[in-house]
């Protein structure tokens, strides 16, 4: 009940604020919901190409919000967990897009060349790294932390959102102890099954969004 009152309030803000309100923090837009169409987006990759969600109809898409200087991201790259998931996604025919929403001059912000160097240096295997310094894609997905993970099925429906795994820590040793939510979800989707735990709690570093006032 309260939720709908708040929504109404937000909606009116949105209408009154016009285009400027598009950038209101997270809550200004309808929050993405598992089972509903995933927010559409288009963005520019570190390879200079443009990427649109609509281009991937018929394929499963995994979105990974990242910030290479965040210790939670570091845990999953230094352990090799993230790269393994990316290779696993590619082997399953899924499209893995890493998204960087850090604003300029903030932690994790990189230009195209540095993003490509990071991919190479870490032996990462995303299909593309999308640069989102204005936070438009991040806000649309209500991504809050790095890493924050989303999976979209071939029909464009959001089928997973949340954490990469179950243990909120920066310790490498916890990777093998955790329930691997994203790994499990990808396997279930590859097997043609519904995702057993479609919404989990994300953990990590706050995404360094551009202020929206």
Partner 1 sequence: MNVLLSKVAFRAATSLLATALCPLAAIAETSSAPVVTERTRATLVVGADAAAPGAPIAVALRLQLKPGWHTYWRNPGDSGEPAVVTLRVGEREYKGPDMWPVPERIDLAGIVSYGYHGDVFLPTRVVAPAGVVPGATLPIEAKATWLVCEKVCVPEHGRFTVSLPMAVDVPATTSGSPFNPEPLQPLPAQFSKTAGGWNLRVPAASADAGGAIVAAYFFPERGDLIDHSAPQSLDRSGSGIVLGMDAAPAMAEAPSELRGILAITQQRADGTRQTRYFRIAAQP
Q: Please report, as ranges, the residues that interact with partner 1 according to CB under 8 A.
A: 1-7, 24-27, 31, 69-72, 106-107, 142, 144-145, 161-162, 168-170, 199-201, 203-212
If the CB atoms of residues 38 and 205 are measured against partner 1, the closer one turns out to be 205
CB of 168 to partner 1, least distance (A): 5
If the CB atoms of residues 86 and 200 are measured against partner 1, the closer one turns out to be 200
If the CB atoms of residues 107 and 116 are measured against partner 1, the closer one turns out to be 107
Distance CA 28, CA 190 (A): 34
Distance CA 138, CA 141 (A): 5
CB of 26 to partner 1, least distance (A): 5
CB of 21 to partner 1, least distance (A): 13
* 103 class by beta-carbon count within 10 Å (0-12 exposed, 13-18 middle, 19+ buried): middle
If the CB atoms of residues 86 and 102 are measured against partner 1, the closer one turns out to be 102
Distance CA 107, CA 68 (A): 8
CB of 104 to partner 1, least distance (A): 12
Supply 23's token pair. Answer: 């950038």
* 87 class by beta-carbon count within 10 Å (0-12 exposed, 13-18 middle, 19+ buried): middle
Distance CA 21, CA 161 (A): 24
List the beta bridge partners of residue 158: 152
CB of 117 to partner 1, least distance (A): 20
If the CB atoms of residues 76 and 125 are measured against partner 1, the closer one turns out to be 76
Supply 14's token pair. Answer: 């949105």
């Amino acid at each position: 009940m309260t939720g709908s009152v708040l929504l109404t309030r937000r909606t009116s803000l949105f209408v009154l604020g016009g285009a400027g309100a598009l950038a209101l923090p997270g809550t200004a837009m309808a929050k993405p919901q598992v089972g509903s169409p995933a927010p559409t987006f288009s963005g520019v990759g570190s390879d200079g190409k443009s990427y649109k969600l609509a281009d991937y109809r018929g394929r499963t898409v995994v979105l990974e919000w990242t910030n290479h200087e965040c210790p939670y991201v570091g845990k999953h790259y230094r352990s090799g967990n993230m790269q393994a998931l990316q290779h696993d996604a590619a082997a399953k025919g899924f499209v893995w897009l890493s998204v960087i929403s850090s604003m300029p001059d903030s932690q994790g912000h990189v230009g195209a060349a540095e993003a490509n160097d990071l991919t190479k240096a870490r032996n990462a295997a995303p299909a593309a790294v999308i640069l989102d310094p204005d936070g438009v894609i991040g806000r649309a997905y209500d991504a809050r932390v790095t890493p924050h993970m989303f999976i979209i099925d071939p029909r464009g429906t959001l089928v997973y959102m949340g954490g990469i795994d179950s243990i909120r820590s920066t310790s490498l040793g916890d990777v093998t102890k955790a329930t691997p939510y994203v790994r499990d979800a990808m396997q279930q989707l590859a097997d043609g099954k519904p995702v057993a735990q479609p919404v989990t709690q994300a953990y990590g570093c706050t995404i360094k969004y551009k202020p929206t006032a």
